[in-house]
Amino acid sequence: MIYPTRRAIAVSVAGACLALVVAAIAPPLWTIGFLGIAAVACLLAVDVLLSPRARMLKIDDYAPAQAFIGRPTGIDFDVSFPDRPNIAIESRLQANALLQVHQGHQGHSFELDPHRRGQGEVQALWLRWRGPLGFVWNQHVHDVSRNIPIIPDTKTVEEQAIKLLVRDNLFGAKAQIDKGEGAEFDALREFQPGMDTRSIDWKQTARHRSLLSKEFRTEKNNSIIFAIDTGRLMCEPVNGGIARLDHALNAALLMTFVSLKLGDRVGFFGFDAKPHLKTGVVSGAQSFHLLRQLTAQFDYTNEETNYTLGLTELANHLDRRTLIVVFTDFADTTSAELMLANLGTLLKRHLVVFIAFRDDELEEFINASPEDAEDVTKAVIADNLLKERERVISQLQHMGILVVDAPTDRIGISLINQYLTVKRRNLL
């Protein structure tokens, strides 16, 4: 596309004004105005002919493989005319609604600011440059079509997980990295002061006439499935304007990092009105990045959650006893009835951990000092909703489901503590 610059417009306007003045002063010379118009047209044509063509452009892009929510990331383009390096080129970047683009400070660099998870797309790079005379703009749209998955920020997740592994090492000393508090017998060793007296093997002690204790090997290769509800209630923003779904994924990824490090197998299962993501279980610390990439497929929806279809499909998908971590939410006891019934079905073969999201807004209504009748009404309604929530949580616990009840910003740490307790008690 070619269009005139401000210089061309200014020259054209000045020429038109001069022609009017000449026509007013000397009417017989009014045809001089046509000569001015022809001169400007010739300058425009010459500038177009002397301008470098779009096909001469050399464009290289350096795009990130992925982006993280709340963490801006850069994308750079190397744009030039190899034969005419002095040509100044301006650029703008076009992306879809999930990526907010900010112009960089130098060259053709841009900053991508992801706001929501999903499939971000850098669509096109808009370029323009002036002709040598400065009378025309040459514009070119370079098709980029680069998909950039937007995933939760796992840098903080990995840092927290590493701290937890160092602080609460399930395997014991470095010289015994496979030893732990599991139930699988590994070896006998001489009892040393400070060791747990419950580990003493009295029969072997009597036989060898030396105080011996049992060592156990920590169980590995357990299956863990994160069943994540992506329905309407889970997509509502809560703490800090972040959706419950994103808090759930951050907590799931934190536990995924720890679980893979400890030798267990991990998979994801997503559902709302129907199941939509089944990853299968993978093992090895190197699989963390694969699972992190797959979380971009958990999209926000307005669908009502179908627990019967979702959890039944999950149960049919599992062929061995599994630790199932359920991330979901409920509005009242009525809407929780189907959830309770289907979770009870899962309990027949599997161990279930239920994540209860605390509603900070309801607690603020209760704790706030009322100033008018509307505040009192809000506090009463909030208190009734919290009582219903506590009633459902109590039912879950009576069924034998392990409940993690914590503020949204502490769910990840609380879930890890529950997971380590499951490992120690050999519940799987």
Boundary (domain end) residue, out of 20, 35, 50 = 50
82 and 141 in a single domain? The answer is yes
Q: Which single residue is written with the structure tokens 């299968």?
A: 280
143 and 261 in a single domain? The answer is no
At 316, which amino acid appears? N
Number of domains in the chain: 3
What residues contact 100, with CB distance under 8 A and at least 6 apart? 112, 113, 114, 115
Angle between the N-to-C axes of helices 333-347 and 373-399, in degrees from 0 to 180, rounded to the nearest 10: 20
**Residue 14's Cα: distance from chain center in Å?**
56
State how far the Cα of 252 lies from the Cα of 95, in Å rounded to an integer: 29
- 288 neighbors 268 (Cβ within 8 angstroms): no
- Tell me, what's the pLDDT at 176? 39
Is residue 115 a part of any domain in this protein? yes
At 57, which amino acid appears? L
- 233 neighbors 305 (Cβ within 8 angstroms): yes
- Tell me, what's the pLDDT at 168? 53
Is residue 169 a part of any domain in this protein? no
Is residue 176 a part of any domain in this protein? no
146 and 277 in a single domain? The answer is no
45 and 105 in a single domain? The answer is no
Q: For position 145, which CATH number holds? A: 2.60.40.1080
- What is the model's pTM? 0.64
Report in angstroms the alpha-carbon separations of 214 from 176, 182, 211.
14, 11, 10
Is residue 242 a part of any domain in this protein? yes
Boundary (domain end) residue, out of 91, 117, 151 = 151
The radius of gyration of the chain's CA atoms, rounded to the nearest angstrom, is 33
- 43 neighbors 12 (Cβ within 8 angstroms): no
Q: For position 276, which CATH number holds? A: 3.40.50.410
338 and 406 in a single domain? The answer is yes
- Tell me, what's the pLDDT at 94? 92
Report in angstroms the alpha-carbon separations of 310 from 222, 228, 328, 349, 397.
22, 10, 12, 17, 22
Q: Which single residue is written with the structure tokens 């017989």?
A: 28
The SS3 call for residue 177 is: coil
Helices (H), 279-399: 288-294, 307-317, 333-347, 360-367, 373-399
337 and 413 in a single domain? The answer is yes
Is residue 175 a part of any domain in this protein? no
6 and 92 in a single domain? The answer is no
Is residue 296 a part of any domain in this protein? yes
Is residue 69 a part of any domain in this protein? yes
- 422 neighbors 179 (Cβ within 8 angstroms): no
pLDDT in tens, the chain (428 residues): 888 888 888 888 887 787 777 777 877 766 666 777 788 888 889 888 888 888 889 998 888 888 887 678 899 998 989 888 888 899 999 999 888 898 887 778 999 988 777 788 999 999 999 988 888 999 999 999 888 888 777 666 666 666 665 555 544 433 334 444 445 555 777 877 766 677 788 888 888 888 888 776 555 688 999 999 999 888 887 766 678 888 898 889 989 988 998 889 999 999 999 998 888 899 988 888 888 888 878 888 888 899 999 999 999 988 889 999 999 988 777 778 889 999 999 998 999 999 988 877 777 778 788 888 888 888 888 888 888 888 999 999 999 999 998 888 788 888 988 998 888 887 87
44 and 65 in a single domain? The answer is no
347 and 278 in a single domain? The answer is yes
Is residue 307 a part of any domain in this protein? yes
332 and 401 in a single domain? The answer is yes
Boundary (domain end) residue, out of 120, 151, 182 = 151
Domain containing 367 equals 154-161+220-425
45 and 86 in a single domain? The answer is no
230 and 84 in a single domain? The answer is no
- Tell me, what's the pLDDT at 21? 78
State how far the Cα of 179 lies from the Cα of 185, in Å rounded to an integer: 10
- Tell me, what's the pLDDT at 44? 86
**Residue 19's Cα: distance from chain center in Å?**
63
